[in-house]
Amino acid sequence: MSTKRIAGAEIEKLIQLLAKVPGLGPRSARRAALHMIKKKDQLLTPLAGAMADAAEKVQICSVCANVDTQNPCSICTDPRRDSTTIIVVEDVADLWALERASEMSVSYHILGGTLSPLDGVGPDDLNIKTLVDRVVGGEVKELILAVNATVEGQTTAHYITSQLEDLNVKITRLAHGVPVGGELDYLDEGTLSAALRSRTNF
C-alpha cells in the first residue's frame, strides 16, 4: 500500500492479517479482502463467525494431541475406530492427509514435531511420553511410525522405538518406494534402491 490512505483502517487491518495466511501474500490478500467485501453476506460475515467459533471452541486432544472442538477428539471417541493400532505422525496436517488417503479406521498420535537438537527440540518438547503411556496402558498392538522420511523424522522414529523396546508392541513404518505415477528417471538413488530391495511379486 502507498502512504496515501485509500481505504478505512478496518480494511487495511483485514488485508494485513490476511497476508499472514499461508497461501496468500500481500497481493492476493488484497484480492481476497476485496472479494470478501463484495460477498459480505455470503462470505465475509459467515467466515468471521466461523473463525470466532473455531477460536472459541478449538482445543488439543489430551489423548492424541489432535486439534478438535471436543476433548478427547472426534477420532479418539469414535467407537468404530480400532484403538489397538496407532499411527504416529509429526503434525495434524499429516493426520488429515492419511485420513484422506487411507481406508484404515485407526487411532493417531501427534508428536508435534521431530527431534532436532540444533533447534533445541528434545524428547520432552514432543508428545512422546504420552505415547509411551498409551502403550504402557495396555491395549495397543501396533504403532505405525508415519513420520517424514527426513533425517529428523527417522531420528525421532529411532528414539521412539528405543523407548518402547521393552514393551510388547509391534512397530512398523511406511514403505519406501516409487511414488504412484512417478517416473523412475526423476527419482533419487535412495528411493530407487529402497524400491528395489522391497520389490513385491507381480
The contact set with its own copies (CB under 8 A) reads 1-2, 4-11, 13-14, 17-18, 20-24, 28, 30-38, 40, 43-55, 57-58, 66-70, 73-75, 78, 92-93, 95-96, 99-100, 105
The CA distances from residue 194 to 8, 12, 144, 173, in Å, are 58, 52, 19, 13
- Residue 77 Cβ vs its own copies, minimum distance, rounded to whole Å: 10
Which residues neighbour 169 within 8 Å (Cβ) at sequence distance 6 or greater? Answer: 135, 140, 141, 142, 143
Cβ distance to its own copies smaller for residue 19 or 192: 19
Cβ distance to its own copies smaller for residue 34 or 194: 34
- Residue 33 Cβ vs its own copies, minimum distance, rounded to whole Å: 8
- Residue 90 Cβ vs its own copies, minimum distance, rounded to whole Å: 13
Cβ distance to its own copies smaller for residue 74 or 193: 74
Spatial separation of the C-alpha atoms in residues 170 and 140, rounded to whole Å: 9
Spatial separation of the C-alpha atoms in residues 89 and 113, rounded to whole Å: 9
Between helix 151-163 and helix 128-136 the angle, nearest 10°, is 40
Cβ distance to its own copies smaller for residue 125 or 176: 125
Grid-cell match 533445541, residue found: 120
- Residue 56 Cβ vs its own copies, minimum distance, rounded to whole Å: 8
